[in-house]
Amino acid sequence: MRVLAAMSGGVDSAVAAARAVDAGHEVVGVHLALSAKPGTLRTGSRGCCTIEDSHDARRAADIMGIPFYIWDFAERFTEEVVETFVGEYAAGRTPNPCVTCNEKIKFEALLEKAMALGFDAVATGHYARLSVVDGVPELRRSADEGKDQSYVLASLTPVQLRHSMFPLGDSWKTEVRAEAEERGLSVANKPDSHDICFIPDGDTKKFLESRLGEHPGELVDAETGAVLGKHTGVHGFTIGQRKGLGIDAPAPDGKPRYVLSLEPVSGTVKVGSADNLGVHEIVANRPIWPSEAPLEGPTECAVQVRAHGGIADAVAEVVGDEVRVQLREPLRGVAPGQVVVLYRPDADGDLVLGSAKIAATA
């Protein structure tokens, strides 16, 4: 097959590309330039896609002896990922930009261009297992559950998955680094990227305020309605947040307060005790079924609401255009805008049944 290897400049994508070469595929490496100012997207181990990263990717491609190109996706990345991220926060929702990036950039924009150029598949360094059985994709958690990225891939369509390759799905991160060392790849010990790539200093609130400005509102006690303080915008908060609320006086019981809800129109941020954070029901929309098979009736499954953590047993059911999830035990910190992913354990590991965007909780 003709395979386009997406090479970020990190160890995972480099080893994934090398394994595609070893498998006998005709491989071409490509690095995606996602910023008009590439020097601004990395601070230590934070961020990605800098000029340094592109050089690292090129050196890895040279060692493998494969062609290498840099494709400018900066404009589309800004429109599809960055602006969507800002808009979601302005609306009081909590998005996951990595999910959006995989969906809109790596497996929509990149795959579209790859297919137009005659490639059969795109290979990436994601940690997830993918098989295609009788033409039906089956996406599962990776062998290394600590590095598993099936959550951020669960929004891919069956068509996209049929043209995707995840060569690291059966490997552990320690094995991948050791293999990179053996292959003489300079990125073998390069730190993993963390947090949001376009906010390399990790200060999401500052970034959002630079885009949205200040929209003052009140911090209100959810039970009494008492005004506890002022804030500069609901975009500075997310459900379940405890630190940085800007409330001077402690709660009457001395326990911490948490953000319980956001009302962007009125600018009200309601806070309260941890006891009120538990979510028992999730309503989600825009479902995607990787195997083209929607749920049939109430289905026992495990759900995950964050890339790392937020997992619980549940019963999920499709009702009209929505997916309704009844949790066996409550989850905290579940916010509209997040993605809920449904898993079913089977003999080969946790199979992704589907995903949907959280619209409401109860």
pLDDT of the residue at 1: 96
27 to 114, 128, 134: CA distances (angstroms): 12, 20, 25
- Which residues lie below 8 Å from residue 98, measured CB to CB, with a gap of 6+? 152, 196, 307
Of 290, 293, 292, 286, the C-alpha closest to 323 is: 286
CATH classification for the domain delimited by 2-125+167-182, as one of 3.40.50.620, 3.40.30.120, 3.40.50.2300, 3.30.360.10? 3.40.50.620
Beta strands in the chain (DSSP E): 2-6, 26-33, 42-43, 46-47, 68-72, 121-123, 128-133, 136-141, 164-165, 217-221, 227-231, 258-263, 268-272, 279-288, 299-304, 311-319, 322-331, 339-346, 349-361
Segments making up each domain of the chain, as ranges? 2-125+167-182, 214-276, 279-361
CA nearest 267: which of 232, 221, 238, 224?
Answer: 232
Q: Which two tokens stand for residue 228?
A: 């506890």
177, 13 in Cβ contact below 8 A? Answer: no
77 with 36: CB under 8 angstroms? no
Looking at residue 19, its pLDDT comes to: 98
CATH architecture assigned to 279-361: Beta Barrel (2.40)
Instruction: Measure the CA dihedral 85/91/92/93, to 10°.
Output: -50
Distance from CA of residue 114 to its chain's centroid? 22
Active site residue 101: yes
197 is catalytic: yes
> Which fold is adopted by the domain 214-276?
SH3 type barrels. (2.30.30)
Q: Where are the alpha helices (DSSP H) in the chain?
A: 11-22, 51-64, 74-77, 83-90, 97-101, 110-116, 150-153, 158-162, 173-182, 204-212
> Which entry of 48, 49, 98, 197 is annotated as an active-site residue?
197
From 48, 49, 101, 301, the catalytic residue: 101
> pLDDT 10s per residue in the chain (362 long)?
999 999 999 999 999 999 999 999 999 999 999 877 655 555 554 456 678 889 999 999 999 999 999 999 999 999 999 999 999 999 999 999 999 999 999 999 999 999 999 999 999 999 999 999 888 999 999 999 999 999 999 999 999 999 999 999 999 999 999 999 999 999 999 988 777 888 888 889 999 999 999 999 999 999 999 999 999 999 999 999 999 898 877 788 888 999 999 999 999 999 999 999 999 999 999 999 998 889 999 999 999 999 988 999 999 999 999 999 999 999 998 999 999 999 998 877 899 999 999 999 99
Tell me how crowded residue 191 is: count the other CB atoms within 10 A of its CB: 11
Q: Specify the length of the chain in residues.
A: 362
User: Token match 């997830």: residue?
Assistant: 128
Please give the pLDDT value at position 127.
97
